[in-house]
A = this chain, B = another copy of it.
Amino acid sequence: MIRSHESTVRVRYAETDQLGVGYHSNSLIWLEVGRVELCRALGFSYTDMEREDGLLLAVVEVNCRYLHPARYDDEVIVKAWVEKATTRGVRFGYEMRRAGDGRKLSTATTRHIFCGRDMRPMRLPEKYFRLFGVKRER
């Protein structure tokens, strides 16, 4: 089973601020790119989860530590993995590094609960157990 996945984003001009660095809220968008690509690498698409199964991963907590700023046009490698998952929710871990020199830019975790389209909590359908590494209860 794939344990983690690395995606790459390039810092856009629109994502910089007047300090000349990537504005910090954009990191959360890059985390989402990492999370989505991790799921895709595991054989699942967010779109299908939402459209076919009405399964949403509502964000309930974000923690991000910024170690070093990203700059315009930097390639940022977003490494993402499932830290912990149950039938009710999942916590992802992340590490962002600059492609050029491998410098660590930030670390983060995001916590999500599984919801239906009505935004109410929903038990994870069995077909997704493998994706999130949830063990079948007996």
- The chain A residues found within 8 Å of chain B, CB to CB, are 12-14, 16-21, 23-26, 28-29, 32-33, 36, 45-47, 56, 58-67, 69, 72-73, 119
User: Across the interface, do B24 and A17 meet the contact criterion of CB distance under 8 Å?
Assistant: no
The distance in angstroms between the C-alpha atoms of A82 and B133, with both chains bound, is 41
27 contacts between A and B (CB under 8 A): A12-B32, A13-B17, A13-B23, A13-B36, A14-B23, A14-B29, A17-B17, A17-B18, A18-B19, A18-B20, A18-B21, A24-B28, A25-B25, A25-B32, A28-B28, A36-B73, A45-B73, A46-B73, A47-B72, A58-B66, A59-B66, A60-B65, A60-B66, A60-B67, A61-B63, A61-B64, A61-B65
State the number of copies, please: 4
Main SS class of interface, A: mixed
Q: Which residue of B lies closest to A74 (CB)?
A: B47
Q: Which residue of B lies closest to A31 (CB)?
A: B25
Q: Does the CB pair A62–B13 fall under 8 Å? A: no
CB distance from A90 to the nearest CB of B (A): 15
> Is the Cβ of A17 less than 8 Å from the Cβ of B16?
yes
